Amino acid sequence: MAITQDNSGPMPVPGTRVVITGASSGIGAATALAFARQGCRLVLGARGEEGLEDIARRCREAGGMAEARPVDVTDAAAVASFAAEARGILGGIDVWFSNVGIGVVGKYQDVPMADHRRVIEANLIGHMNDAHAVLPIFLEQDHGTWINMISIGGFLASPYAAAYAASKFGLRGFSEALRAEVSRHPRIHVCDVYPTFVDTPAIGHAGNYTGARLTFPPGSLAPETVAQAVVALAARPRNTTAVGAPAMAFKLGQFAAPHLSASLMNRFMDWWSARAERGDDTTGSLYAPPAGISGVEGGNRRQAQTTPVTKMAMAAGGLVLAVMMLHRRR
């Protein structure tokens, strides 16, 4: 398995034909803009039409060609139609970036089962719908790169986000199986991307049953950092790309001391939810797209450095990493 954290290298050629789902905000939006700056041609999909049109406009201003098409990736027939339309617009598909991701935070028993199901439908089934729609196109062309946004949550279990963990662990297994199936087609690639925490609007879109206001921990990545890694994969595909300095330590820790690291994280989440600023329970954007334009960044990275709770998060994260690496050495 090829793994890289060096995101430098060749960029895609102008005119590369790219499809991105989950393109209306966050990583998807940042990646669309990064491809546009390389002169690529894009078809962008997401549920939120207003945010999608805003990013398509910004892509055109950045030098790319971009068309926006609303789509809900949990609807397999809609995704198949979206893929066919994208192929018609672009004349083929060279790169498909599956980027849809939603979450709900709270103790497992406190979150309604319908919300857990919705996370699985979007994060796992949605990506499978994407692959099912584009793989026949790749096979007919005898080339294509499917880039699968997973997150470090595919290796490290997430207490207070059980459905998210299930979706990401499942997505990692699906991707590995699909990669094996296309292994006899050397020009067809399945690439997985595993970032750590990324400062996007997603934190404000998540369902929340913790009783506390959600924030990202200190050290969260800029969406543009992940976008750079994704764009590089279009020119130089690799099986697995970890983004963020702690990513490889988390990956090793999943094999070295998975129960201990999850237990420590659960204790921290218990501590955090009792002390963080209060918030109301919400389903977030699980069942409807966010209203208006969300943009690329969440704006939490600078603010996160100043609060006592997030300073404690830094200490907790360091403790988890230290314990995992100690067990690895043993």
User: Active-site residue numbers?
Assistant: 164
Closest CA to 42 of 32, 34, 52, 51: 32
Phi, psi (deg, nearest 5) at residue 54: -65, -45
CA dist list (Å): 314 to 268, 306, 324: 11, 12, 16
Distance CA 221, CA 168 (A): 19
**Helices 76-90 and 126-141 meet at what angle, rounded to 10?**
40
Cβ contacts of 185 within 8 Å, gap of 6 or more: 138, 139, 142
Which residues share a beta bridge with 181? none
Which residues share a beta bridge with 282? 208
Q: Are the C-beta atoms of residues 38 and 14 closer than 8 Å to each other?
A: yes
Number of H helices and E strands in the chain, helices first, is 12, 10
